[in-house]
Amino acid sequence: MKTAEGSLGTLRKKEFGCMSDEYGEDSIQVLEGLEAVRKRPGMYLGDPHDGSALHHCIWEVVDNAVDEHLAGYNPTVEVDLNADGSVSVTDHGRGIPVGIHAEEGVSAAQVIMTKLHAGGKFDNESYKVAGGLHGVGVSAVNAVSEWLHLEVHREGKVWEQRYELGVPKAKLKSTGKSDTTSTKVSFKPDLTIFSEVVEFDFQQINTRLQRTAFLNAGLQIILRDFRSDDSVEIDHTYDGGLSEYVTLMNAKKNKIHDEVVHVIGSKSGDKGEVHVEIALQWTDSYSENIDCFTNIIHNVDGGTHLSGLRSSLTRTVNSYAQSRKLLKNLNSLSGDDVREGLSAVVSIKHPDPSFNAQTKAKLVTSEVAGIVEQIVNDKLGEYFEENPSIARSIVDKAVLASKAREAARKARDLTRRKGVLEGGGLPGQLADCQSRDPNECELYIVEGESAGGSAKTARDRRTQAVLPLRGKILNVERQRRNIAKVFTNEQIQRMIRALGAGVGNEEGDEGAFDPEKLRYGKIIIMCDADIDGAHIRTLILTFMWRFMRRAIDNGNVYIAMPPLFSVGRGNHVEWVHSEEELDATIKRFKKEAPSAKISIQRYKGLGEMNPEQLWETTMDPEVRRMMRVDIKDVEAADKLFTVLMGEDVPERREFIETHATEVTSLDI
Active centre residues (catalytic): 447, 528, 530, 532
24-63 mask for ligand 28F (x: CB under 6 A)?
A: -------------------------------------x--
CB burial readout 373-405, b (16+ within 10 A) else e:
bebbbebbbebbeeeeebbbbbbebbbbbbebb
- Paired with 343 in beta bridges are 281, 289
Rg of the chain over Cα atoms, rounded to whole angstroms, equals 31
Residue 337 within binding range of ligand 28F, rule CB under 6 A: no
Tally of CB atoms within 10 A around 72: 10
For ligand 28F, the nearest residue by Cβ is 64
Q: In angstroms, rounded to a whole number, what is the distance separating the alpha carbons of residues 554 and 439?
A: 13
Tell me whether strands 220-225 and 76-81 are parallel, antiparallel or unpaired. parallel
Contact, 183 vs 206, CB < 8 A?
no
> If we measure between CA atoms, which residue out of 68, 183, 163, 70 comes closest to residue 115?
163
Is residue 50 within 8 A of residue 197, CB to CB? The reply is: yes
Amino acid at 590: K
In 315-376, beta strands by DSSP E: 342-349
Contacts for 5-11: CB closer than 8 Å, 24+ residues apart: 5/35, 7/38, 7/165, 8/34, 8/35, 8/38, 8/165, 8/166, 8/167
Nearer to ligand 28F, 68 or 337 (CB): 68
Rounded CA separation 642/490 (Å):
23
Pairing assessment for the beta strands 76-81 and 565-569 based on DSSP bridges: unpaired
Which of 646, 340, 644, 637 is CA-nearest to residue 477? 646
| Type of residue numbered 297 | I
Alpha carbons 459 and 623: distance in angstroms, whole number:
14
**Among residues 64 and 318, whose Cβ is nearest to ligand 28F?**
64
DSSP state of 146: E
- How many angstroms separate the CA atoms of 558 and 539, rounded? 14
**CB atoms near residue 268 (< 10 Å):** 10
* Spatial separation of the C-alpha atoms in residues 79 and 205, rounded to whole Å: 9
Site string for ligand 28F, 156-195 (x = CB under 6 A): ---------------------------x-x----------
Residue 64 contacts ligand 28F per CB under 6 A = yes
Identity at 415, one-letter amino acid code: T
CA 635 to chain centre: 7
Site string for ligand 28F, 115-154 (x = CB under 6 A): -------x--------------------------------
Nearest to 442 by CA among 427, 431, 428: 431
Residues 67-106: x where in contact with ligand 28F by CB under 6 A, - otherwise, as a string: -x--------------------xxx-xx-xx---------
- Helix/strand number for the chain, H first, E second: 22, 22
- In whole angstroms, give the CA distance from residue 438 to residue 519: 5
Q: Give the three-class secondary structure for 156.
A: coil
Which are the contacts of 143, defined by CB distance < 8 A and separation ≥ 6?
A: 33, 34, 35, 37, 38, 165, 166
Nearest to 78 by CA among 600, 87, 70: 87
Closest CA to 196 of 46, 1, 51: 51
How does strand 342-349 pair with strand 289-294?
parallel
Amino acid, res. 121: K
403 binds ligand 28F (CB under 6 A): no
**Per CB under 6 A, does 65 bind ligand 28F?**
yes
Beta-ladder partners of 560? 626
Give the ranges where 46-172 is alpha helix by DSSP (H): 52-70, 108-114, 138-143
Q: How many residues bind ligand 28F (CB under 6 A)?
A: 15
Residues contributing to the site for ligand 28F (CB under 6 A): 61, 64-65, 68, 89-91, 93-94, 96-97, 108, 122, 183, 185
